[in-house]
């Protein structure tokens, strides 16, 4: 077939790059329509995100959340499943992390709490993904719809738990008590200080390393295990997988459990790393942003890290931008995010044929 | 007791209106084979356009037209991605929801400088309630008087339009040639294509109708139910409408009842706040809030009947070539 003649770098790098550029181009048009100079805006964005070490810290802190949710979406994508419930899984995962911290913070040391919090976040996140996964695998209900419904159920459940059970007495806002310091993930600036490296204080914390470890884990799992092969086979052709003797429902459930667990780790960064207490709405749309990250990163851990840092930079640079140009809100970042989903996801076929055609003709001649 | 019931039902009608409009919008789209989780975004976009235009031009009707135009534009983007370029319907819907969530606030701040809101609307800029003739005179008549004056009278025009849309949709889907083809294209696009009818054109018409109805729902939120646009004011109504569409098994009349049920739960949840029931104690509001979602999940799981959608829904149609 003609497809084989298209050079690999065209489909892996060039087409995604062009799609993202298209999204940025339309974003620039939006900024232009607001009567501002897109080049100047981009300058503030880049400076805010990378121009000074506090900005870089914030960028990577946002990126940490996005790596977790991006990985969560991509693992499911690889198996042909659309996990749109990252938001709810992250929310409940954070509950798991928070409960471990509230339970052990005064009796245990950090080294004991960290692995237990990781397990807590993973278990709670996975549990929240389990029901939609089970229903998809065994009862044929569509995972997209059920995970959407579970996002809302998670949100109501958290409000109920926070208001009725976990709220600290005497507080107006539904926050739990602040954890003892033995349950705080160390900040990056604290960790680097003993080595003589001085950086400004930022919310960047040890969860970032866990995010990178998760990337390696996902990479190994998907491309270097038999189980990962089964997962990819289902994603490519579910019928073929069935004939090859793969237990589709079982793999489907496992994929969703891992996806939910990865999303649940957002709680490590947000609850244990930064807020140090359980609170409402700490997921702040990271679950949905994970879809954009995953699409832009082509469902590969390396791509996801790059995309997560880029989106982290947009989040951080966006606040800088809003500060410098008051007529632009940080919400412009949400617009850019949506445009990336549109062009790299929904419209990915728009230019594909034409660009590929260009290269096929060349190789024939 | 009777009066409380009437008041709850009255609130149910108001809360259900955007759900009915949006769910019917989804019905047209999904019956033609286009999955639409972008209902939420289209409602929000419509709400913003309605409030913005109403406050600039001073007329709720102008606002309504702009709401429909904005919502149709979003629907066409969805159509362009899903029909013309065979993109993933879910991804496209997520993209539209995300873009609108950001764009409404961005434009709102730029145009009105009020933190993303639109100015407060009053007078002609809003759809005001219509009082039926003799409503006040009949209010004192037992039972019927209350039903007539409270429940039926005193809503704004969009509420009545929403309820009229249900039989109209029924007629359009089941009794017209267009409806027959629409249902066919959602079940078996190949057959429609073989009959010489354009699959793409049919589906485009379906998403445009979807846009019109979502625009109505949006205009209702910002210019009738509330007096102005607020950030994220659709607050998940598009998703509840989607749930109602599934709960009503993609059929107009059951969809209406699903919307009324979900609206009723919403109205009850407001009433139940802090009320202690004898023998049960206080029911947490959140427990009632999640019922629409829980019921839909149970239905999808096959525990209450079976929800089977249009057969070709979500699948891109590729024309066969010889």
Q: Residue-wise pLDDT tens for chain A (365 aa)?
A: 444 567 888 877 888 888 888 999 999 999 898 888 889 888 888 998 998 888 999 999 999 999 999 999 999 999 989 899 999 999 999 999 999 999 988 888 889 999 999 999 999 999 999 999 999 888 878 888 899 899 999 999 999 999 888 888 777 788 888 888 888 999 988 888 888 888 888 899 999 999 999 999 999 999 999 999 999 999 999 899 999 999 999 999 999 999 999 999 999 999 999 999 999 989 888 988 898 899 888 899 999 999 999 989 988 988 888 888 887 888 888 898 899 889 888 888 888 878 887 887 665 55
- In chain A, residues with a C-beta closer than 8 Å to the C-beta of B77 are 342
Contact A77, A294 (CB under 8 A): yes
| Domain range for A91 | 66-289
Residue at A76 is within a domain: yes
CA-closest candidate to residue A96, choices A264, A257, A255:
A264
DSSP-based three-state secondary structure for A153: helix
pLDDT digits (tens, 9 = 90+) for A340-351: 889 888 888 888
Task: Nearest by CB to B102, from A35, A164, A335: name it.
Answer: A335
How far apart are alpha carbons A123 and A91 in whole angstroms? 12
Whole-number Cα distances in Å, A258 to A38, A71, A264, A272, B9: 40, 10, 10, 21, 44
Contact A4, A316 (CB under 8 A): no
Pairs across A and B, CB distance < 8 A: 149
- In chain A, residues with a C-beta closer than 8 Å to the C-beta of B308 are none
- Domain range annotation of chain B: 14-235
Residue with tokens 């500060």: A323
pLDDT digits (tens, 9 = 90+) for B263-306: 988 888 877 777 777 767 777 888 888 888 898 888 888 776 66
Residue at A52 is within a domain: no
Contacts with A249 (C-beta within 8 Å, 6 or more apart), sequence order: A137, A138
DSSP-based three-state secondary structure for A187: strand
Residue at A13 is within a domain: no
Measured between CB atoms, does A26 come within 8 Å of chain B?
no
User: Tell me, what's the pLDDT at A1?
Assistant: 44
Phi-psi sector, A284: left (phi>0), alpha (psi -120 to 50), beta: left
Task: Nearest by CB to B301, from A84, A141, A335: name it.
Answer: A141
How far apart are alpha carbons A15 and B243 in whole angstroms? 36
Contact between chains at A342 and B97 (C-beta distance less than 8 A): no
B282 by Cβ neighbours in 10 Å (0-12 / 13-18 / 19+) ranks as exposed
Q: What is the dihedral angle through the alpha carbons of A155, A117, A254, A152, rounded to the nearest 10 degrees?
A: 0
Instruction: Flag whether pLDDT at B315 surpasses 90.
Output: no
Residue with tokens 């181009």: A25
How far apart are alpha carbons A48 and A320 in whole angstroms? 5
pLDDT digits (tens, 9 = 90+) for B137-174: 777 777 777 777 777 877 888 999 999 999 999 999 99
How far apart are alpha carbons A206 and A115 in whole angstroms? 13
- In chain A, residues with a C-beta closer than 8 Å to the C-beta of B265 are none
Instruction: Flag whether pLDDT at B320 surpasses 90.
Output: no
Residue at A345 is within a domain: no
Domain count, chain A: 1
Q: Which of A73, A295, A331, A353 is best to mutate for the B interface (most B CBs within 10 A)?
A: A331
DSSP-based three-state secondary structure for A205: strand
3-state secondary structure chain B: CHHHHHHHHHHHHHHHHHHHHHHHHHHHHHHCCCCCCCHHHHHHHHHHHHHHHHHHHCCHHHHHHHHHHHHHHHHHHHHHHHHHCCCCHHHHHHHHHHHHHHHHHHHHHHHHCCCCCCCCCCHHHCCCEECCCCHHHHCCCCCHHHHHHHHHCCEEHHHHHHHHHHHHHHHHHHHCHHHHHHHHHHHCHHHHHHCCCCHHHHHHHHHHHHHHHHHHHHHHHHHHHCCCCCCCCCCCHHHHHHHHHHHCCCCHHHHHHHHHHHHHHHHHHHHHCCCEECCCEECCHHHHHCHHHHHHHHHHCCCCCCCCCCCCCCCCCCCCCC
Where is A289: in which H helix or E strand? Answer: helix A286-296
Contact between chains at B286 and A160 (C-beta distance less than 8 A): yes
CA-closest candidate to residue B100, choices B41, B40, B37, B38:
B41
Residue at A252 is within a domain: yes
């Amino acid at each position: 077939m003609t497809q084989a003649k298209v050079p690999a770098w065209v489909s892996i790098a060039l087409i995604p790059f062009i799609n993202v550029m298209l999204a940025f181009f339309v974003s620039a048009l939006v900024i232009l329509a607001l009567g501002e100079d897109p080049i100047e805006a981009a300058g503030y964005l880049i400076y805010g995100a990378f121009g000074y070490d506090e900005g870089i810290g914030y960028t990577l802190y946002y990126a940490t959340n996005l790596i977790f949710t991006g990985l969560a979406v991509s693992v499911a994508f690889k198996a042909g499943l659309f996990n749109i419930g990252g938001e709810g899984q992250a929310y409940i995962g954070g509950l798991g992390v928070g409960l471990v911290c509230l339970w052990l913070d005064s009796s245990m040391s950090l080294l004991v709490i960290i692995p237990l919090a990781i397990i807590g976040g993973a278990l709670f996140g996975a549990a929240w993904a389990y029901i939609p996964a089970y229903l998809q695998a065994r009862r044929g209900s569509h995972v997209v719809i059920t995970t959407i419904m579970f996002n809302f159920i998670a949100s109501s459940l958290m409000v109920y738990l926070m208001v009725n059970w976990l709220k600290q007495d005497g507080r107006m806002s539904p926050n739990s008590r602040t954890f003892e310091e033995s349950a705080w993930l160390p900040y990056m600036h604290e960790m680097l200080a003993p080595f003589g490296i001085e950086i400004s204080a930022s919310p960047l914390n040890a969860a970032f390393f866990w995010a990178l470890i998760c990337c390696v884990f996902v990479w190994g799992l998907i491309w270097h295990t038999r189980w990962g092969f089964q997962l990819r086979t289902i994603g490519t052709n579910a019928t073929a997988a069935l004939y090859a003797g793969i237990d589709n429902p079982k793999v489907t459930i496992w994929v969703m459990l891992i996806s939910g667990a990865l999303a649940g780790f957002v709680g490590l960064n947000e609850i244990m790393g930064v807020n140090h207490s359980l609170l409402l709405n700490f997921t702040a749309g990271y679950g949905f942003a994970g879809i954009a990250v995953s699409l832009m990163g082509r469902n590969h851990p390396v791509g996801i890290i790059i995309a997560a840092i880029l989106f982290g930079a947009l989040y951080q640079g966006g606040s800088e931008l809003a500060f410098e140009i008051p007529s632009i809100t940080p919400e412009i970042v949400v617009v850019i995010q949506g445009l990336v989903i549109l062009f790299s996801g929904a419209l990915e076929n728009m230019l594909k044929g034409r660009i590929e055609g260009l290269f096929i003709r060349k190789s024939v001649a | 007791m009777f009066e409380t019931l009437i008041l709850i039902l009255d609130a149910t009608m108001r809360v259900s209106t955007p759900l009915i409009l949006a769910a019917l919008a989804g019905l047209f789209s999904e019956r033609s084979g286009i999955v639409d989780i972008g209902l939420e975004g289209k409602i929000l976009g419509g709400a913003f356009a309605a409030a913005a235009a109403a406050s600039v031009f001073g007329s709720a009707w102008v606002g309504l037209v702009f709401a429909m135009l904005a919502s149709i534009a979003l629907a066409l983007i969805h159509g362009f991605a899903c029909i013309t370029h065979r993109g993933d319907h879910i991804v496209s819907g997520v993209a539209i929801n995300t873009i609108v969530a950001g764009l409404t606030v961005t434009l709102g701040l730029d145009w009105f400088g009020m933190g993303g809101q639109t100015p407060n609307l009053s007078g002609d800029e809003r759809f005001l309630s219509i009082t039926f003739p003799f409503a006040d005179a009949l209010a004192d008549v037992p039972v019927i008087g209350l039903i007539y004056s409270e429940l039926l009278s005193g809503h704004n025009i969009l509420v009545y339009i929403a309820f009229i849309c249900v039989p109209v949709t029924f007629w359009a889907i089941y009794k017209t040639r267009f409806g027959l083809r629409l249902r066919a294209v959602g079940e078996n696009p190949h057959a429609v294509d073989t009959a010489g009818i354009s699959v793409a054109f049919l589906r485009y018409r379906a998403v445009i109708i979807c846009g019109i109805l979502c625009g109505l729902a949006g205009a209702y939120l910002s210019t009738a139910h509330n007096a102005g646009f607020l950030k994220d004011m659709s607050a998940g109504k598009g998703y509840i409408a989607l749930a109602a569409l599934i709960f009503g098994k993609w059929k107009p009349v059951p969809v209406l009842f699903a919307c009324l049920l979900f609206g009723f739960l919403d109205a009850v949840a407001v009433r139940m706040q802090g009320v202690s029931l004898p023998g049960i104690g206080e029911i947490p509001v959140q427990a009632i809030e999640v019922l629409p979602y829980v019921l839909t999940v149970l239905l999808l799981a096959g525990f209450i009947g079976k929800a089977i959608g249009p057969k070709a829904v979500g699948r891109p149609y590729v024309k066969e070539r010889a």
